[in-house]
Amino acid sequence: MFRKKTGSLWITALALILVFSAAGCEKIKISRLQANYHFNRANQLFTDAQYRKAIAEYEAALKYDPNLIQAFRFLGESYKQLYKPAVESALNKDIETKALAALTKAHQIDPNNKEIIYSLGDMYDKLRKYPEAEKLYLRIIDLEPGNMSNYYVVAEFYKRYAGEKPDAATKAASMYLRRLEADPENPQGYAYVASYYEGIPMSADNINQAIVNIDAANDFQDMRIKLQPTNPEAWLAKGINRWGKAFRIQSLSKEQRMAAAMEALRSVEKARDLDPNYPEPYSWLSVIYRSVLSKLEPEKEARYNAEADKNIDKFQDLRKRSAERKKLEEELKKH
């Protein structure tokens, strides 16, 4: 009798456990469905740039699923979109705090997620918190040392601080060069390094360094051309570089500026000859003739200006044809 009673109690207890377990599972399932519902609504609002409404939906999603990583990430991104750098106000400070809190939480849940690391690093970058941002950006390279685009992301970060942090410019150049070392046969890498050196602000107090930078950029353009000798864009980039030296560095001698201008002319003409239907070389030929050659040799100004006019007319004609062709292609797609 006692055994029968005990057996009945165990069966009853087991039945109750199963009932509550099923109810718990059902509750979890419903919570996840509700979390996904709010998360999807939030994503659409985020895409539509309705960030305040998106925040409410991401917060609702997290109420139903507190471990929804991407909800934390995009909640932080939504606050980040509302944040206004350098604006001192209580509202802006609150937005900053909430953006960091959400992104930090996402990072804590998934510390090796590249997108989350980048999002948090970008927020620190907006706050001009250099050490915190640097640590996160370098973590991206540690996680994906073979991903070449990561080196550009970090290089651009350092580039933004080149005039503010003593070692930032050196670190930026180092990142570009590491990218080249990893893939020396990729011409785009040389184009990026050249663009970096050309983008360094020119200081009137240090013209010699400006000359070094623009010539370094030209050297990398030459390396790119060596890999792509028939690429008109590479030749045009070199021509623009040489024009920059002749036009921007007025302290050079007339002979030095003329040498740079003629090299610019030859390079842009090469780009034109490689692709006669490429509009941009004609525009730059006009610039070289009018802004540099006509000034260096004023006795030939009329001739140079005539060449400039001829080339700008050709440029406008090609651009017009290109626009008409694009319009026709779009109309054909509709049919």
Residue with the larger pLDDT of the pair 32 and 115: 115
Q: pTM of the prediction?
A: 0.70
Q: Residue 201: its pLDDT value, please?
A: 78
What was the pLDDT predicted at 332? 79
Q: Give residue limits of the domains in the chain.
A: 32-85+94-129, 151-199, 274-318
For residue 175, pLDDT over 70 is answered with: yes
Q: Considering the chain, what percentage of its residues have pLDDT values greater than 70?
A: 90
Lowest mean pLDDT among 50-64, 65-79, 121-135, 155-169: 155-169
The closest of 279, 300, 275 to 290, measured between CA atoms, is 300
What's the pLDDT score for residue 307? 97
Give me the mean pLDDT over the 284-304 stretch: 97
Using the predicted structure, report yes or no on whether residue 12 has a pLDDT greater than 60.
no
What digits encode the pLDDT tens for the residues 245-273? 999 999 999 999 999 999 999 999 999 99
pLDDT in tens, 147-157: 888 888 899 89
Sorting pLDDT into bands at 50, 70 and 90, what band is 227? very high
pLDDT by residue (tens digit) across 99-129?
A: 999 999 999 999 999 999 999 999 999 999 9
| pLDDT of res. 269 | 98
* Band of residue 179 on the pLDDT scale cut at 50, 70, 90: confident
Does CATH place domain 32-85+94-129 in 1.25.40.10? yes
Among the residue ranges 30-34, 212-216, 220-224, the one predicted with the least confidence is 30-34
Predicted confidence (pLDDT) at residue 21 exceeds the cutoff of 60: no
